[in-house]
Structure formats: C-alpha cells, structure tokens
Amino acid sequence: MDLQLKHKIALVTGSTAGIGHGIATALAREGASVIVSGRTQAAVDVAVAAMRAETHGEVTGFAGDLSVAADAERLYAQHPHVDILVNNMGIFEVRAFADLSDDDWRRFFDANVLSGVRLARLYLPQMLKRNWGRIIFISSESGYQIPAEMIHYGVTKSAQIAAALLPAAPSFWPAAFCNAPSRIACVKGFDRWPSIPASRHMATCSANACAVTARM
C-alpha cells in the first residue's frame, strides 16, 4: 500500500512503546520522516534504533514531558515543520472517584488533553499556510463509555474526541475523516487490577482526526 507519505514529516507523541510505537513504525514504513517522542532519552534512543533497523526509514527522536508547556515549546523549536501530528501520549490509572484530588484531575488533563491541544495549536498555523496537514487524537472507547473505576481517564478521553474538531476556521474544512475503533492487544497493565473485567484487558482505541484543507 502506498499512502503517499514520502517527504511528509510525522510526529507521534508517546511513541517509544505500545500503540504509539506501532503507529510511528507504520508511518516510517510508508516513507514518512518520523519523530519519535517519549519522556526519557534512554527510551527514545532504544525506540529510534529499533525503528530505523526495522523500517530503514528516516527516524529522529525527542525526549521530554509534553504535559509541560516548556517541553512542548522545546519540541516545536527543534522540529518546527510537521505535516502529520498524532497525539497519542496519555496516562491511565484505576482510582475511585472519591479519592481523586484536584491535582489528580489536573495531572490527567495536562497529560491526556492539553498536551495534544497545545501541540495542535503550535503546528496548525503552518498546516493552514501549506494547505495540507493532519491532526489526529488517539482516544478510547472510554471516551464514549466512561469506566466507573477510571472516571478521570474517561473524561479526558471524551475531551480528546471533542478536541479533534479544533482546527475549525472560517476558511478551512475540519474533516473528521477517521473515527475507527480497533481492539489493541499491546497495552499492558490492566491485568494488575482485578476490578477490571478480563474482557477489557484488550484496549479499544479510537482515532479521531482532522484534515486541514482549503474551503473552495
């Protein structure tokens, strides 16, 4: 399959492992120049080396916590040109609603929502100027069916789905061209919580995307 991604630059956040790593690898196979992003330099270096060996593609890396504005600005300064932005970075944990503090809610919102919104805000203007771009938020079935044991997580996933419409502007079409739930077996950690049914140890991923094209 040729997705015509040669000479396109793709940034995939949270791509040192799991779903993000799979997305970044697929993009590299299709000829895109890929930027791998993760929190630690060691994890980024390992992922970049493995991806280069597997795809023989052009792969670079960035280490930083994108829930922090300063790190997002540093990423943008190092990689100012991005054609495809995949906001995959996210965190989850099981916690009773009554045990969630204001800081817990802020931590989840910063990591799961604001990290992607901030990057979209940084990269959208250049996409509009070039009249081509893709902004994708990797959400979850939990955005539609809020899990009782992870209400804070589900709320942020709902917010991601809503944020996929953010490039709306008077002169451009925001096009939700992909809303594709798929069951992913590579997410680890759910089996540590017996309160989660075994049927949900397989994560369901929903990708909500916006295409940036001119209104004619």
Neighbours of 12 (CB within 10 A): 29
Domain count, the chain: 1
The whole-number average pLDDT for the span 32-58 is 97
Cα dihedral across residues 66, 67, 68, 69: positive or negative: positive
Could you read off the pLDDT of 63-114 as tens digits, one per residue? 999 999 999 999 999 999 999 999 999 988 899 999 999 999 999 999 999 9
Q: Is the pLDDT of residue 12 over 90?
A: yes
Residue 31 belongs to a domain: no
Residue 2 belongs to a domain: no
Least confident range of 18-22, 79-83, 92-96, 167-171: 167-171
The residue annotated as part of the active site, out of 76, 123, 144, 153, is 153
Residue 127 belongs to a domain: yes
Which CA distances in Å does 108 have to 5, 102, 155, 169?
A: 32, 10, 9, 28
- Decide: helix, strand or coil at residue 7: coil
Q: Residue 43: its pLDDT value, please?
A: 97
- 144 belongs to the catalytic site: no
Task: Say how far apart CA 51 and CA 36 lie, in whole Å.
Answer: 9
41-55 and 18-29 helices, crossing angle to 10°? 40
Residue 54 belongs to a domain: no
- List the domain range (segments joined by +) for residue 165: 65-214
The domain that contains 126 carries what CATH number? 3.40.50.720
Q: Is the pLDDT of residue 181 over 80?
A: no
Q: Residue 201: its pLDDT value, please?
A: 34
User: CB–CB of 12/40 below 8 Å?
Assistant: no
Residue 139 belongs to a domain: yes
> Residue 207: which pLDDT band, with cuts at 50, 70 and 90?
low
Which of residues 139 and 214 earns the better pLDDT score?
139
Residue 5 belongs to a domain: no
Q: Is the pLDDT of residue 176 over 50?
A: no
Residue 29 belongs to a domain: no
Could you read off the pLDDT of 105-149 as tens digits, one per residue? 999 999 999 999 999 999 999 998 988 889 998 888 777 788 888
Please tell me the chain's helix, strand, coil percentages from 3-state DSSP, rounded to the nearest 5. 45, 20, 35
Q: Which two tokens stand for residue 93?
A: 């944990």
Tokens 């280490």 belong to 63
Output the pTM of the full model.
0.81
Residue 26 belongs to a domain: no
C-alpha 77: how far from chain center: 19
